[in-house]
Amino acid sequence: MSSASPENDSADDSVTARVRIDAAPEVVFPYLIDPSLMVRWIGEWAELDPVPGGVFALNIESAVARGTFLVVEAPHRVVFNWGSPGSETMPPGSTTVEITLTADGDATLLELVHRGLPVEEVKPHIHGWTTFLGQLRDLTWARL
């Protein structure tokens, strides 16, 4: 059972997830921008240059995410785009992930919104998106 709550909004084709972490935003934030801390919760290799325009690169088993940092406001907000090399529907940088950290007493409420998922526009460009989903399937199933 997951304690992070997913939400789907079919209207704007985004995915939102939230989690409460028993640590201050200042403690949580480095895990979003420091490669050695990031790979402890997502992926196994990361190259991150956390400044606007800086590289965001993450390998998650067979899936690869490539993009750019857009907003880095320690310790409350980070926005990066990502996509998959070789994908026509989700090329590097084509979808956007926004993470906001809000202090709640001694804890942090983290909200993640992944926007621009090309589920509805998949038909003319089925290749890249289905490849990416195939990759995601492998890693999601491997971990659940």
Interface ranges with another protein (CB under 8 A): 2-8, 10, 15, 17-23, 27-28, 31, 37, 40-42, 110, 112, 114, 117, 119-120, 122-124, 126-127, 130-131, 133-134, 136-138, 140, 143-144
In the bound state with another protein, the residue whose beta carbon lies nearer, of 53 and 58, is: 58
Q: What DSSP line would sit under 33-81, residue for residue?
A: H-HHHHTTTS-SEEEE--STT-EEEEEETTEEEEEEEEEEETTTEEEEE
Q: What minimum distance in Å lies between the beta carbon of 73 and another protein?
A: 18
Q: Burial code of 119-130, b = ≥16 C-beta within 10 A, e = fewer?
A: eeebeeeeebbe
Q: What minimum distance in Å lies between the beta carbon of 95 and another protein?
A: 10
